[in-house]
Amino acid sequence: MTTGAAPVRQLDPADATTLRRTAENILAATGTPAATPHLLAHVAESAAALPGTVRHHLRPVDTDDGLFVLRGLHVDDAELGPTPAGWAAAGDSGAVHDVVLLLLATAMGNPIAWEGQQDGRFVHNIVPAPGHETEQTGASSTVLLSPHTEDAFHPGRAHLLMLSCMRNHDRIATTAASIRHVRLDAADIELLSRPLLPILPDAAYTDARAFDGGRPPAVPTLFRADDGPTLRFDPAYTPLDDASPAHRAAYGRLSDELARVSGAVRLAPGEVLVVDNDLVVHGRVPFQARYDGTDRWLKRASVRVPARRTRPLAERSEHGYGQAAVEAHAA
């Protein structure tokens, strides 16, 4: 799957202009790029008034690929400024693009922010950061970012993940694989559907990793929603050494199948990858960061879809390692 092979929804230039101008008007009206309750209220009101053509492009993911690329937003490389040297250095860089992404996310559901990640921002900057090259986080570069469910450790994880490309001169690929395309035998499915191992918080949540408020909950890797199989998967943060040999073997076969059906999405500036976080695991190929202001730069939004039923009821009793997610509509 290249960007061209992924399902594409093409914005009309007039709609892209409307989104940009709406974002600019919101920033002018609120006087701040920070996602304050005042700004979020403006975003919600403006998202509800987006043209029908835009809202049609933001309809739910509707194929077993579990993703699509929204194409056609305006991104000017010179206007954007240099790629920040880490999310903490980003500040308000590309603020108008933050608001555009919030408009799109709000049209699809409720954007969420994590109190323990990137200072509680609703839009994250995903850039390589010095000293983090080999981590299993979005700040890494020289290692494969293992395919994973976003925030798999938490029962309140997003239903949708949105990655908006600001800069990608090197055409660095995001990897994606849908559980709906894998082939597993019934015994593996049955074993992986049991709650046998926990998924631990990733390294971006330092306070969650120090949480001592309860035993890590064992969770199933696979489960079935009304329309088919879904998954909760993060091998880098799953203690597989604690599993039985049979469980490790089944998990390995699932990993191999996800690798077999995985595709590469090479985002270009102005494209937004929308991923169904219940169906698709995503990652990133290794690359060599330059730290010269020209490196790959994505913006990320996480979205919950109200009343969506894709997860086991047992998740409601999980402690989430003390992490709290804030929904935009309640902010």
H or E stretch at 256: helix 245-261
Q: Tens digit of pLDDT for each residue in 169-186?
A: 999 999 999 999 999 999
Q: What is the pLDDT of residue 331?
A: 45
In the predicted structure, residue 195 carries a pLDDT above the cut 70: yes
Res 119: pLDDT: 87
More confident residue, 327 or 300: 300
At 37-91, the pLDDT tens digits run 999 999 999 999 999 999 999 999 999 999 999 999 999 999 999 999 988 888 8
Q: Residue 210 — very low, low, confident or very high, per pLDDT cuts 50/70/90? A: low
Question: Where does the pLDDT of residue 215 fall: very low under 50, low under 70, confident under 90, or very high at 90 and above?
Answer: confident
Within 8 A by CB and 6+ apart from 111, the residues are 102, 105, 122, 301, 302, 303, 327, 328
- Specify the pLDDT at position 290: 96
pLDDT number for residue 208: 59
pLDDT exceeds 80 at position 243? yes
Under 8 Å between Cβ of 105 and 111:
yes
Residues of the chain with pLDDT > 70, as a percent, come to 96
Q: Is 291 exposed, middle or buried (0-12, 13-18, 19+ CB in 10 A)?
A: middle
Nearest to 222 by CA among 248, 246, 191: 191
For residues 130-148, give the mean pLDDT: 92
For the residues 275-301, what does the mean pLDDT come to?
97
CATH 1.20.120.1760 matches 8-177+265-330 = no
Contacts of 268 (CB under 8 A, 6+ apart): 3, 165, 168, 171
Question: Could you say which DSSP state residue 186 is in?
Answer: H
Instruction: Give the integer Cα–Cα distance in Å for 106 and 115.
Output: 19
Residue 148 pLDDT greater than 90, yes or no: yes
pLDDT over 90 percentage in the chain = 78
Q: Which residue has the tokens 């290249």?
A: 2
